[in-house]
Structures are given as C-alpha cells and as structure tokens.
Structure 1
Amino acid sequence: MNADWQNGGFGIYVHWPFCQAKCPYCDFNSHVSREIDEARWLRSYLAELDRAALELPNRIVTSIFFGGGTPSLMHPDSVTAIIERIRKHWPMSNDPEITLEANPGSVEAGRFRGYADGGVSRISMGVQALNDRDLKRLGRIHSVEEAKHAFDIARSTFERVSFDLIYARQDQTLENWKNELNEALCLAIDHLSLYQLTIEKGTAFSARYEKGGLTGLPVEDLAADMYDITNELCERAGFSGYEVSNYAKIGAESRHNLIYWRYGDYLGIGPGAHGRLTINGQRHATEHYKMPNAWLENSERGTGEKVRNQLSATDQANEYLMMGLRISEGIDVARIEALAKQPLNEIALSHLIELGLLKRKGPQLRASSQGRLLLNSVIAELIF
C-alpha cells in the first residue's frame, strides 16, 4: 500500500535568505547583508542534505526549487554543488523540474548560463509590475526596461520561464490592469503567477497602511473584477488558471508547487524553510531556524531544523483540504476521508454545492470560480 505522500510526490526546497533590498510588501524570510561567506553557507546546505538523506531513503525527487530571498544572487557553482549533492543521495525523475527564483536586477547572461549548465531548467522571475511608477512604489530596484532585458536573457537560456505580477495596486484601474496583463501575456512563454496585493502584518506596507499612508488601494468589488478579468484574459490566451494565482499552458504548470497543493512530501532546508516529511509512516511538519545567522550556526553544530511536530490525522486532512482546493483539479474525497478517518460534513458540502461554490464530479471535489474568491469561507465550512 502506497503512503499518502506519494499522491503528491517528493520535492526539495532550498531557501537562500538574502536580497539586495527588502520590498515593503514582502513578508518572506529575506534579509539584506553586505557580506556573505558563500562557501560557509554552501557547506551547511550540503550538510543538511547529507543528514536528510539518512532519514529519507528510496525517494525519487521530482523537483528542486531554489527560493528566497533572491537565489539568483548565489554563485552558479553553489547552485550546481547543491544539485549534484541531491543527485548523489536520491534518484531523480526522468525530467526533473529544477527552478530558481530571480529578480531582474540580479540577472546576468553569464551567470544564467552557469545555472543552466549546472542543471537548472526553469526560472521564476519577480517582475511585479510593468510600469516604472508602480515598481518604485513596490520598492523594486529594477525598471521595466531592465525587467524586459532580464526576461530576454532568461528566455534565451531556458525553455521554461515564469514571471510574477502583482495587481490591485495603488491607484490601479481595471483598464490599467487589462492593458498591463495583455502586455504580460504577449511576453509570457508558458507560465504566469498573478497575485493580488495583500497587506501582510509585519511588513513596511502594513505599518504605512495602519497610519493611513497607503492610499488608493482598490475597493473589494474592483479587486474582484480584476480577478475575474485576469481569469478571462488568461484563458483566452491559452493560460489556464490551474491554481488561485497561477496560470499556465497545458503541461507547463509548476511541478514543484503542485507537490504542495497535492499534499506530497517536501524537504525544506535553509533559514525559515518549512517541510512536510513522512518518516516511518508518520507525517511531520518541520521548520528551520528563521534568522540567517541562527540557522547557519545551528546547522554547523548539528542541524538547522528547529521544529519537528507530528501531524495528527485531522491536521493532515485539513492541510490537504486547504491546499487541494486551491487547484483546479481539487481534492480526492476518498483520500481526504482516509486521512481524517471520518467523512466530510455532508450537510455543509451539499450547501456549498447548492450555492455554486463547490463542484463534485466522481471522486473529485473542487472549488468553482466563485468558490475560489471565497475560498477561506468555503474551507471554514468543511474543516474537520
């Protein structure tokens, strides 16, 4: 009998915590540092992989994702060494997806060729806006011209290139967003990540917002209209909305992120990295030390992992529910009930289907377009 995680596969996430500048909307674990001893950092990444390999034998790695921070600030030799160490410990799938996140200001043709030579097969680029005024407001250090130049370099080096945009920005009209999205779709190769601006606690934007300084944000109805037009224009251009904020041509979906959304297992290493690991039949939630120096020092002492908690049957079912309803394929009812060791609430389920927020076809349960807009409320009704 297969373990549950095999429904989603196994991937590895490597977190590089450093950026050239901290964006005011960002709540990711990213830090600005003048001096980085990259050789020392590499030793710790490799040691973490060596430790993990002892606990996780006989896994096939389907994807590796270098996230951050800005991993495109890493030397290509470091990225190559990490990929080689993973290949040493685990067999890889026939066509592994190896993604590296990049910011346009850190893109250099020679560096990108080095990543490709080392095994990187996909780039995810943080463009965020296609006009200079909004890039400045978002705290980005690149211009639109630099972003397009960086995208050209990436496109000439890699077959698969995705980029991110943020919408529902300050003073952005529906027409502004339509024009920008159409331009993005003309540039795009096979994948786009399109996120609505959210004000996250602990960010510079949050502090500004609480003081009344973040003006011109769209009202809820306008933001919903922007979401609707995003789906409409992407679909028309052949980019299916396979997840709440992600659009791809058929076969170009992010395989690494699908591991999360299909509730597979993933090893996370690096400052603040999270993981989900099934060991001896028990699934665990793992988390590494968040602050870079704390992670580095603890990794050198023995392990960068700070937290390892066993997940109960209810925890696992709820995580699968929250992740799986984000994607267009939805969740498998038999699988979630097996995880929970109890059936879904049929009264709540019938009500949500009647309201048109959920759709059920055979074994699969998925959120409708309207349901995705109200996903938190939908999940709250079904949670175990």
Structure 2
Amino acid sequence: MKNLIIILGEDLQINHPFLDYFFAAYKKKFDFLASVKYIQNNNKELPFYIENFTKNYDNITICANENGFYTLSRILATLTTDTIELKFETLMPSQAIKFSKNSFLIAINNSQINLIKAEPTKELPELLSSNEQNSKIFHIIDIDKESAQILLEPLTATYNVNITLTQIIDGLTKIKVSTSKYGHIDSFIESVANLFIGKIIPSDDIVEFLAKKLIQNNKKITFAESCTAGMCAATLGSVPGVSAAFDGSLITYSNSIKNRWIKVDNQILENFGAVSAQCVEAMARGAMDLSGADYALAISGIAGPDGGSEQKPVGTVFIAVSSSSGVISSRLLLSGDRDYIRTQSILHAYTLLLRSHPELCK
C-alpha cells in the first residue's frame, strides 16, 4: 500500500513544532511515515497534481491550512462531480465516506484522500484513513545489518514476506517486514525471535518498549547526563505513563556538579577527565545511589563541533549502565554533527542497558 502526505500551505511548512506534532500523529496511526510533498496554496497546478496522485497512491493524507482546506474541498468536489455540504461545522463534498470536525475522507480513482484543516496551537483533527497493516517493524540487538540479512533471508521465503533492514547504530538493526495478503508476518517474527533469543525488540521504538518493560516489572530508571543535557531522560519522558518507572534524573554538565551532586571523585576528574569510562561509571553509581532507582544510565562525551583532541576527538562518548549487578561502560567513537552524535549516544546507552540486562527483552 502506497501512502502519501501533502502539506498544503507555506505557514504550516515553516512551523516545525507543528509539523513534528502532525508527523508523530501520522506515525502513531500508520506505524510509519509516508513520503511527504510540500505544495503552496496558490499553485495553479494543484487540481492536476491531486488527480495524478490519486492514480499512484492508495492513501493520501493532506494537512492544509484554512484557505487550502476550503480550496481543496472545492477541487475534490469538482473531481468527483460532487457538491459541497456543511457537516460537523465543516464544508466538504457530499460524497465523503467518513467525516468529523475539520476532517473528511473521500474516494477518487484508486485512492482514498483524507483532507484535514490544521490550526497550529490547536488539537489536530482526527485522521480518518484506514490503517490496513501489511507491515511491522522490529529491532535486533548485537547483530549487524549484513549478518541479519544473511540469516533472515531463508525465513522470508518460508513465510512469503519481504524485509528492509537499516543499521540504526552499531549493534542495533531495524527491520521492516511487509507482505501481500498471502504472507505471514507474525509467524515470521516469531521464528526470528526463536532464532535470536533475547535479542529481538518487537517494536518500532526501543525506548517505548523499554519503558513498558520497566513498568511491567515494577522497576525504576534514572540518568546522569553530561553532553546529552537531559535528552536521554526527555526521550523516555515522551512515553505516556512512564512516571511509574521514572522519578527524575540529573544533568551534570560541569565537573563541579558531577562532584557535588553525584559524588564523582575529584581524583577521577583530574586523572581521567570527565570524558572517560571511570567518570561515567561513577556518574551511573552516583545517580543510582541518589535516586534509589534499579537502573542508571550515564553519558559523557564530546559532541562538538569543538572540544576534541588527538586522544579524544569529537565524537568520543562514554556510556555506562549501573544496576544491582554492577556497572559496565563502553567507549564510542561517533560521527556526524552535534545533534546526530547526541542522538546516537542516547540509542547506544539504551541498547547497552538492554544488552546487559536481557531480562528486559523478554
């Protein structure tokens, strides 16, 4: 099934917080993000674009500003030789299949079009397109993309599925499995789980998966972050209901705060530096002791663009996991800009927790 997103209106296209909100809602509905096209309201070719899109896509979701919404409502009515009616305080073609306030679904050619009127700072209207799932996404830890491809290929033939793999970070491979109506996705994933016991994360979001496992097991987690400045905790905090597993965390950017708040010994900071295995291990222990959590993650590194050295270049990051069974750490050498290095650091920290505590994967 081919899906398309159209963002209609320049004011929406430059509103990045709203676009993040819309894309997150779309992904929650469909489990993936479709191709995105940006079109201006005054584009005279808009009727021809829409008609052509309906011949090439199964589902089209159009997020339009107020002017674009009413313009496109009339265009869709014209394409279906229909009239405009007022339903749920919203003007829309009378042949709309589904409708709610500021949202309607209509069929044209081989496509279903869901047009919604978007108003930034207000709640997004309901997405009405049906989500006929013919794909699922999962992760495998401790295996690279090429090895996973070789091991999974025989299973794809058995269960009549197709797979797409991507390397998220070293040791974390993301896999999308899709099929026609004759394939067996669930049976394929079950076989993969038997092949990689304790290594499969049956979710598109490993942080959400981990949060739910912590809640189920009545466990708590905390963080001590330096270069990521709270991003690790914020990622976990985006999961609804996570307060059952998360009481709070620490951003310990400076050496003095590392020492005063979580008791990182000054000798460690002087002899090894803040970007070191010794430091992150002490940070993880200190955060765990202070919070009383069952697990603590610590991150300290050089995200750039400045601050690197020959011994510790930009992209050098240390992560650590502390629990009742002890503390483990890992050194990373990451590439990319500042934000990408920090994002990778977060994923590495969570993956290290899952790798070192396989009970959380079950």
- TM over 0.5: same fold? no
Q: Relative contact order: is structure 1 or structure 2 higher (C-alpha 8 Å, sep ≥ 6)? A: 1
Return the index of the structure with the highest Cα Rg.
2
Q: Which has the higher helix share?
A: 1
Give the TM bin, normalised by the shorter chain. Answer: under 0.3
